[in-house]
Amino acid sequence: MSEAEYMRLYDVLDGHVDAAIGCFYTDVVLNGYAADNRSVFAFLNRNAAFWNLHRYSLQSTCFMILGRIFDTASDAHSIHALLAATIQHPEFFSKEALRQRKISLVHGTSDWLEDRVNEAWEPNTSELRALKRALAPHAAKFQAVYAPIRNQVFGHSIVTDHLSVQALFANASIPDIEALLFFLRELLSNLQDLFLNGHQPKLGLRTYGYRERIADQVRRVLEYSGLTIIAPVRKSDFP
């Protein structure tokens, strides 16, 4: 695998994670506004068929994308494949590789560039495996709780009666999916920062504004429909 191929794989996963985040939070935020605002609820209820289809599309797309991200097939463009390539190619994260990438970007070197390269973290294979260990509990959670929903409800019509579908969703929760999506976003951001800047991955320290950004987008769409949004999305939707 070349560096260019590695980054193409990264870009595929980056796009998948952004799409899953967009689908998940658009659905959560819309339902939050409906629960907090009678006018929103009435508006959606008057157009129930459209909004039910919209919600089903968001949920099914989110689960299908998560299935792609955590696909265990050997030829899948999955998070497992990306981390396997990361571990197999520590040379991509050497100081010399970083130097050459930065020189190609600025078409030359400088004291500033050399200082940044010299400060870079140069990992070995064992250190990169820590990222795979960090992924393990999230991958296990997906396989135990969310893969059956994806496979039996959205991917294939295996479970169709209401009680069986309800049983599959019994262990699913908004905080769980939030934690899953947050970890994926943070993992990818750290990998990009390692590749482009030589910064050592440090999970659990970053914050992102995608929840608030999506909430603002949903609010603007509802207001464009003539609604006045008074109550904010419930705090429970944003732990």
Cα separation values, 33 from 41, 93, 209, Å: 8, 45, 18
pLDDT digits (tens, 9 = 90+) for 136-172: 999 999 999 888 888 877 766 666 667 767 777 778 8
Q: Is 70 exceeded by the pLDDT of residue 30?
A: yes
Instruction: Provide CB contacts within 8 A for 70, sequence distance 6+.
Output: 78, 79, 80, 139, 142, 143, 147
Given a contact cutoff of 8 angstroms between Cβ atoms, the answer to whether 78 and 10 are in contact is: no
What pLDDT does residue 237 have?
Answer: 40
Q: Give the residue with greater pLDDT, 238 vs 210.
A: 210
Q: Which of 158, 186, 146 is nearest to 24 (CA)?
A: 146
What pLDDT does residue 238 have?
Answer: 39
What pLDDT does residue 239 have?
Answer: 38
Average pLDDT of the chain, as a whole number: 86
d(CA 78, CA 69): 5
For the chain, what are the domain ranges? 3-198+209-237
What pLDDT does residue 10 have?
Answer: 96
Considering only 34-43, 77-86, 104-113, which range has the smallest mean pLDDT? 104-113
Tell me what the mean pLDDT of segment 185-213 comes to: 90
What is the share, in percent, of the chain residues with pLDDT greater than 90?
46
What pLDDT does residue 148 have?
Answer: 85
pLDDT digits (tens, 9 = 90+) for 105-120: 776 677 778 888 888 8
